[in-house]
Structure 1
Amino acid sequence: MPNGQKDIQIKFPDNLQGGAYANNMVVSHTKEEFIMDFLMIAPPAGAVISRVIVSPGHMKRIVAALQDNITKYEKMFGEIPLAEEPKPNIGFH
Structure 2
Amino acid sequence: MNQDNNENKLNIELGEEIAEGIYSNLAIISHSNSEFVIDFIKIMPGMPKAKVKSRILMTPEHAKRLLSALQDNINKYEANHGKVKDIEAQGIPLSFGGPTGEA
Higher-RCO chain (CA-CA 8 Å, sequence separation at least 6): 2
Question: What is the alpha-carbon distance in structure 2 between the residues aligned to residue 69 and residue 15 of structure 1?
Answer: 25
**Which residue identity does 2:33 align to in structure 1?**
K
Q: Name the structure with the higher helix share.
A: 2
Matched, 1:86 2:74: no
Query: What RMSD, in angstroms, separates the aligned Cα atoms of the two structures?
Result: 1.9
Bigger proportion of residues as strand: 1
Structure 1-normalised TM-score?
A: 0.82
Gaps of 5+ in 2: 96-103
> What CA deviation, in whole Å up to 9, does each residue of 1:21-64 have, x standing for no partner?
00000000000000000000112221101000000000100000
Q: How many angstroms apart in 2 are the aligned matches of 1:31 and 1:44?
A: 32
**Cα deviation 1:46-86 (Å, max 9, x = unaligned):** 11010000000001000000000001111111111111463
Aligned length: 87
| TM-aligned CA deviation for residue 9 of structure 1 | 2.2
Q: Does 1:61 align with 2:65?
A: yes
Change (3 A) 1:71 1:2: same
Give TM-score scaled by structure 2 length: 0.75
Structure showing greater Rg: 2
Q: Counterpart of 2:78?
A: 74
Within a 5 Å distance, the mapping from 1:1-93 to structure 2 comes to 2=4, 5-42=7-44, 43-84=47-88, 86=94
Instruction: Determine what percentage of the aligned residue pairs are the same residue.
Output: 36
